[in-house]
Amino acid sequence: MEALIKTLAEAWGPPGFEHRVRDLIRAEVEPLADELRVDPLGNLICRVGNGPKRVMLAAHMDEIGLMISHIDRQGFARFAPMGTLFPATLLGARVRFENGVIGSIGVEHQYSKRRELPETGGFYIDIEQDSAGQRQVNVGDPGAFAGEVVWRGERVIGKSLDDRLGCAVLIEALRRVKQSGTPHSVYGVFTVQEEVGSRGAGPAAYGLDPHLGIALDVTSTSDVPHGRSGQVKLGAGPVILARDGGVIAPPKVRDLMIRAAESAGLTYQVQVIEGVATDGREMQIARAGVPTGTLSIP
């Protein structure tokens, strides 16, 4: 599992450009699938089982990224966010483009000595020209953050763990369903463009019309300085979301997840958060509605 997480998390895949990640996942799930396809938006849909009840498990392949919006005369690139970017994490960050070029994010001089950082419009990407003095990126080119995944015991640090961790968990879940068998049709859906509004999950859920939906994602914890209010901690088990900014878990779905954890002897945590949402937001409103819950990794 550690090797799989590292491989997935280090792969390049900003919103709308998840093809490299999808190819890696396809290689993992193809031996398990009773049906495997890619829908028009790029969601990878893997069905295990052939029962009358349809269960949709979703994890998103994309990572937060950016897109070049303007390049000035000096060759410095401005960018538009793809997903939520926090200014405090941008300065000095490295950005990788699909062609392998890496740039470094800087900030305009007038902000360099201020205590507060600007919004993303005050940052730029410094990208070297090639040996012939030619520009190596163009307007419209997508980028993702560069970084190595490192394990320290049971802890992991790295880029795009949101939501490549969820993708790895979903792959393992499909393996176990295949091994144990199921009376249902279990659809593992590896979605696109979650970071820009869950644009892949809604159409996928509409097409599958599931009887139950579970979104697999990550969540922030309370055991850090100025962390979210609550009691969610690293190492204390998966998080069952009672409510987030997009889903209020139906009591039957929440109880189902709690019973499953307790019957397996797993510790778990329950969280209520505001202001953030997952693919579950769009899954629950597909067609006439889908009972939906969210399981998160702290």
Q: What is the pLDDT of residues 234-282, one digit of tens each?
A: 999 999 999 999 999 999 999 999 999 999 999 999 999 988 999 999 9
CATH topology of domain 65-145: Elongation Factor Tu (Ef-tu); domain 3 (2.40.30)
Q: Is the pLDDT of residue 223 over 90?
A: no
State yes or no: cis peptide before 163, omega within 30 of 0.
Answer: yes
Q: Which of 194, 195, 262, 274 is catalytic?
A: 194
Q: What is the pLDDT of residues 34-87, one digit of tens each?
A: 999 999 999 999 999 999 999 999 999 999 999 999 998 888 999 999 999 988
From first CA to last CA, the distance across the chain in angstroms is 17
Q: What is the pLDDT of residues 115-167, one digit of tens each?
A: 566 677 789 999 876 666 677 899 999 999 999 999 988 899 999 999 999 99
Between helices 2-10 and 19-29, what is the axis angle to 10°? 160
The predicted model gives 192-205 an average pLDDT of 97
30 tagged catalytic: no
CA distances from 45 to 15, 36, 202, 277, 289 (A): 17, 6, 13, 22, 20
CATH 3.30.200.20, domain 2-63+160-297, yes or no = no
What does pTM read for this prediction?
A: 0.93
Q: What is the pLDDT of residues 6-23, one digit of tens each?
A: 999 999 999 999 999 999
- Map out the domains of the chain as residue ranges: 2-63+160-297, 65-145
pLDDT at residue 229, as a whole number: 63
Which is nearest to 213 in space by CA: 170, 269, 273, 161? Answer: 170
Q: CB of 215 within 8 A of CB of 160?
A: no
